[in-house]
Every structure is written in structure tokens, then in C-alpha cells.
Amino acid sequence: MKCISCGAEIGLTDKVCAHCGRVITENAGYRSNMDHYRADSAGTKKKVREIIAENIPIVISAGVMILLLIAVGVVAYVKENAYSFREDAARRESVRQYGSYSAIMQDYLDAGDYTGFSAFEECHSIAEWEEPYSDLKLLVDMAEDYTSLVSAVEEAVMFGPDARRYDPEADISDCRRAIWNFYFEFECNLSDIDADPYREYIYDMKAKADTILEVYLGLDEAGRNEYFAESDIKQTAYLEEVLMHD
Amino acid sequence: MTKKVIFGISVAVNIILAIVLLALIPGAVSELHFEYVEQETIRPDSIRSYLDRENFGTVAALSRAIRGGATVAQEDEEYYRLGEYAELRFLHEVYAKAGNTDTAGQCEERISAIRDELPGYAEVLDEIDKSVADAVIK
């Protein structure tokens, strides 16, 4: 606003013109209102502060509750998914150790120790379905089937003179299934095996499986052909005849 | 509902949540603890049971992880070694028959080393040898 005496710019709450010294009366009502509003505002602020002070414990408690709920949720999630976290970490480590792990696996392969290879692959969480191990996929799958065959034959044939076996018939049945599975997978994947960079090892695995059948089940090449031409029941009967003898 | 009641309830809920949190943390920490190489901690009882029952083939299959480099507790290691011995005896016959003389030779060396490492189990090792010899089709 302007001073009506000198025309200088003056503030809305000024009581005196700073330029001409005239007492300003035109804004008296405004100044009175301002004083009233300030008094009201102070009262309101005081009331607000009182309410806040009154509610601070509840607000803090609610804040703590939210933090505790988040913490419980996070810990429960971590606990529930710990296996995945461990597996992921182990897989990442297997990728970091690719050079040394590959060399060790190659040693197992060169020795023809496919059960050792399979055990190493499992123990070290090698993710054969993704880089940099993806070229091992078929080899690992076949090694797992071969290992199952070895386990099944071992369980069916190796026991002491006073052995107390839980269920010999089940062992023989498992043995037949594991043998069938390895040879079935081999036949089904033959074209992929021929195109695989590790085909020589897979063929050697098959040769070892043939030898296991010959050494422990009495199946030479002709015997194997005859055995695999038979039904499941006759295959089981053959294994029972060979393995249940005293 | 007065503010005091609300505050009391929230404190009670917080105490319960804190107890739940404290109960969950040790389990979660333990679940997260691991080594990059698989640790075999569950099977020793099974292996002992199958050894007692003279099911040497099952012992061999259950112990296989040690051949892949799995770490085992020191006090359980001898049981796994017995399984390794059984598996190597089984495979030795296969390698010998297949003409893998180098690998068969390595098997023999390891078999001999395990015999030296486990002098207290000579009788069991003999039984394993016999079980393999009996299993081979003449």
C-alpha cells in the first residue's frame, strides 16, 4: 500500500510511514485482525503440540510395529527360501570356478569314472543347463542314469553272507528299471549323442554299462540282446534267477 | 477405546512380534550357513545301519558323494571311506574286464590306501571283497 501523505510504499502492518513519519491509521483494522489471528494461531499450535505429545507413544509404538512386521516378514522369507539362496550362491561359485572344476571333471572323464563325475557335478552344484556348462548337459544326464544303474546293480549284488536285506525283490525290480532306463535313454538320444562334443565318453559309459551287465548279471552281447527283447516280467524273472541264487 | 488401551495393545503386539522375530532369526541364520561344496551330514546313520545289515552295495551308493569331493564330518568319514572302498571294488572288476588298465590300477592303489587308512575295519573290508567276488558271474 502507499502512504496517502508522501506516496511512499509502506507495509500492511506498518504503524508509521518510514519516509514522512505520518502515523498510519488506514490499516488499523487489518493490524487488529492480524493480532487476533496470531493469538488464535498460537493457541492452535499449542493445542496441536499437546495432541502430538499425547499421541507420540502410540505413533512410536505403531512405527516399531511396522518395523517388526517388516523384519519378521523378511526373516521368514529368507528362512523359507534359504535353500534357493544357497543353491544360487553355489551355482554362482561353480561358474566362478569354471576353469578348475572343468579340469577336475575332465580327469574323471579321462579315467572313465562316470559315477565320480556325476558325484562331483552334484556336490559342486554344476548347472549343466546354463552357461558356461551347457555343453555338458547330455553328458551329465547320461552320467546320472549310468550312476543310477551302477547304484541299482550294487544294491542288488553286493551283500555279506549274513545280510539282512529289507526287500530283495524291490532291489531286483529297481535294478531292472535302472538298467532299462539307461539303455532306453541311450537309444532315444542316439542322434543327439552322435552330435555331442562328449560323445566318446557317453559311448564309453554305454560300454561300461555293458561290462557291468556282463560281469555281475551274466549278460554278454547276445545275452543282452535276448534280455532286452523280453518283457518286463521275464527280465525280472531272469534277474531273480541270477541274483537270488545262494 | 482410549488411547491408553490402544497403546497397551500395540505394545503387547510388539512384544509378540519381537519374540517371533527372535525365534526366527537363529533358524534363518543356520539355514543360510553353507559351504560351496556339498556337505554330507544326514547319511552316517543310514550308512551304519546298512553296514550292520551287510548291504555293502547300498553303503557304496550312499557314500558316493565323498568320491565327488563332498565334505563330511571327521567322525563320520570312516563310514564314507568304507562305502568308497565298496564302490571301487565293484568298479575295479568292471574296469579290469573292460580293459581300462590304468583306471583299474588307480582303483587298486586307492583300495590299498583305504585299507591302510582303516586298519580297524579289516574284517569288514574282507567281507566287502568277498561280496564282490561272490557277485561276479563266473
Write the ipTM: 0.81
Query: What's the pLDDT at A87?
Result: 84
pLDDT (mean) for B64-73: 88
DSSP A70-107: HHHHHHHHHHHTHHHHHHHHHHHHHHHTHHHHHHHHHH
Q: Do B36 and A153 touch (CB under 8 A)?
A: no
* pLDDT tens digits, A110-121: 999 999 999 999
Query: What's the pLDDT at A246?
Result: 52
Query: What's the pLDDT at B40?
Result: 63
Burial class of residue A239 (count of CB atoms within 10 Å of its CB; 0-12, 13-18, 19+): buried
- Cβ-contact A65, B17 below 8 angstroms: yes
How many C-beta neighbours within 10 Å does residue B105 have? 13
Low-confidence ranges of chain A (pLDDT < 50): none
Query: Cell digits for A38?
Result: 496470531
* pLDDT tens digits, B2-44: 888 988 999 999 999 999 999 999 988 888 777 766 666 557 7
**Closest Cα in chain B to A110:** B103
Q: From start to end of chain B, where are the E strands?
A: 39-40, 71-72
Q: Do B137 and A218 touch (CB under 8 A)?
A: yes
pLDDT (mean) for B81-103: 93
pLDDT (mean) for B62-80: 88
Query: What's the pLDDT at A72?
Result: 95
**B5 at interface of A, judged by CB pairs closer than 8 A:** no
Locate the domains of chain A by residue range: 126-243
